[in-house]
């Protein structure tokens, strides 16, 4: 079953109506067991994708502070073939980046065929933080929904699977995590006052997320909402959704690899035959 919620194109979402503490009717132990099985499947599929070099995978992670973007990236990296998979984190743009269009820094980081890139934050910040914190006027950010849809369509047309996840935590869970983190001697460094400022803008972010989910969930690059108050369930939902998105390609990638293997075998046989002929010639047969 699907543990995340797929947003249909144009669908109006009310985040407050969606349960952030969903557990899919599973115990934590059952969830972890299922995650382990689905991680193995994901690892196999991603290795096929890498070898076949036909398709790329882009995973976009968005969510509020402490929503679990780092945790999910770590969990996906554990499942996947490390040399072909990487994480890119998007922070506030540098002056150099701000001097270009908002997609410039993003487009440079998209995965090549065979590879996987996980975006920890993304081009969506340009219609989220930029809108909520008024970092640019509306006439600048408003047209970006269309630009984002065009950009993602371009990636899909070029053979990229684009998967976008909104990690949905509750206001209470965020407060708990921020306070826990502050007490943690090795994690407190991750915090900054901006996290608390963003928290005070909770409702404005909700509105901005709801519009991004509605306007940028397309047939080719849909959004999925992941209940994220329970970390084990959040990881399960993502591992499942990424595997489900790759599964339909399995047969095609295997066919391609079999074709490539037949070709390699043919070259090897030809090489051995020519070596045999040379040996006979030099023996004067």
For residues 42 and 246, the answer to whether their CB atoms sit within 8 Å is yes
Q: Which residues 6+ apart lie within 8 Å of 256 measured at CB?
A: 52, 54
Considering the complex, state which of residue 188 and residue 268 has its C-beta at the smaller distance from ligand AMP.
188
Kindly list the residues in this chain that would bind ligand AMP in the complex (CB under 6 A).
65, 90-93, 121, 125-126, 129-130, 135, 194
**229 near Mg ion, judged by CB under 5 A:** no
**240 near Mg ion, judged by CB under 5 A:** no
Residue whose entry in the numeric block shows the structure tokens 């933080």: 129
Considering the complex, state which of residue 56 and residue 128 has its C-beta at the smaller distance from ligand AMP.
128
Considering the complex, state which of residue 92 and residue 251 has its C-beta at the smaller distance from ligand AMP.
92
Q: Which residue is nearest to ligand AMP (CB)?
A: 125
Question: Which among ligand AMP, Mg ion, none contacts residue 216 (Cβ within 5 to 8 A by kind)?
Answer: none
Region of residue 53 (left: phi > 0; alpha: psi -120 to 50; beta: else): left
Considering the complex, state which of residue 167 and residue 245 has its C-beta at the smaller distance from ligand AMP.
167
**65 near Mg ion, judged by CB under 5 A:** yes
Q: Which span (5-13, 74-82, 193-201, 209-217) binds Mg ion, by CB under 5 A?
A: 193-201
In angstroms, give the least distance from the CB of 8 to ligand AMP: 27
In angstroms, give the least distance from the CB of 125 to Mg ion: 11
**Shortest CA distance to 155 belongs to which of 60, 236, 57, 62?**
57
Question: Which among ligand AMP, Mg ion, none contacts residue 130 (Cβ within 5 to 8 A by kind)?
Answer: ligand AMP
The binding site for Mg ion (CB under 5 A) comprises 65, 195
């Amino acid at each position: 079953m699907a543990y995340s919620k797929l947003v249909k194109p144009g669908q109006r979402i009310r985040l407050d109506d969606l349960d952030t503490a969903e557990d899919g009717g599973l115990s934590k132990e059952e969830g972890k067991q299922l995650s382990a099985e689905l991680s193995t499947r994901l690892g196999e599929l991603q290795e096929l994708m890498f070898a076949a070099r036909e398709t790329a995978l882009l995973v976009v992670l968005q969510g509020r502070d402490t929503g679990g973007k780092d945790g999910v990236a770590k969990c996906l990296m554990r499942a996947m073939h490390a040399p072909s998979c990487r994480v890119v984190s998007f922070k506030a743009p540098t002056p150099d980046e701000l001097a270009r269009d908002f997609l410039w820094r993003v487009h440079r980081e998209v995965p090549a065929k065979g590879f996987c890139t996980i975006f920890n934050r993304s081009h969506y910040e340009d219609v989220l933080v930029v809108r909520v914190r008024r970092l640019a006027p509306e006439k600048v950010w408003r047209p970006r929904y269309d630009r984002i849809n065009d950009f993602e369509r371009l990636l899909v047309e070029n053979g990229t699977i684009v998967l976008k996840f909104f990690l949905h935590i509750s206001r209470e869970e965020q407060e708990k995590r921020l306070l826990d983190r502050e007490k943690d001697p090795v994690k407190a460094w991750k915090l900054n006052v901006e996290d608390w400022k963003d928290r005070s803008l909770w409702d404005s972010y909700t509105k901005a997320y709801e519009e991004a989910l509605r306007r940028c969930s397309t047939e080719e690059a849909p959004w999925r909402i992941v209940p994220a108050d329970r970390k084990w369930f959040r990881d399960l939902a993502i591992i499942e959704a990424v595997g489900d998105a790759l599964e339909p390609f399995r047969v095609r990638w295997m066919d391609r690899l079999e074709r490539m293997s037949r070709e390699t075998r043919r070259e090897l046989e030809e090489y051995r035959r020519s070596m045999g002929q040379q040996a006979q010639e030099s023996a004067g047969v």
